[in-house]
Amino acid sequence: MLKGKVKVAVELYNRYHSPEAHAELVKLDSGTLTVRFSGSFCRTCGINDWVEDFKYVLESLGVDAELERVIEPSDLQEEFRLGIFKIKHISIR
Residue 71 half-sphere exposure, CB side, CA atoms within 13 Å?
10
Kindly report the length of the chain.
Answer: 93
8 touches 61 (CB < 8 A): yes
pLDDT of residue 18: 87
Q: 29: how many CB neighbours lie within 10 A of its CB? A: 7
pLDDT of residue 57: 97
Instruction: Assign 3-state DSSP to the chain and report helix, strand, coil percentages, each to 5.
Output: 35, 40, 25
pLDDT of residue 30: 82
**Domains in the chain, start-ordered, CATH in brackets?**
2-90 (3.30.980)
- Between the CA of residue 42 and those of 2, 39, 51, 57, 63, what are the distances in Å? 28, 6, 10, 20, 26
pLDDT of residue 21: 87
pLDDT of residue 71: 92
pLDDT tens for each residue of the chain, 93 residues long: 889 999 999 999 999 988 888 999 999 998 999 999 988 765 666 677 889 999 999 999 999 999 999 998 888 778 888 999 999 999 976
pLDDT of residue 85: 98
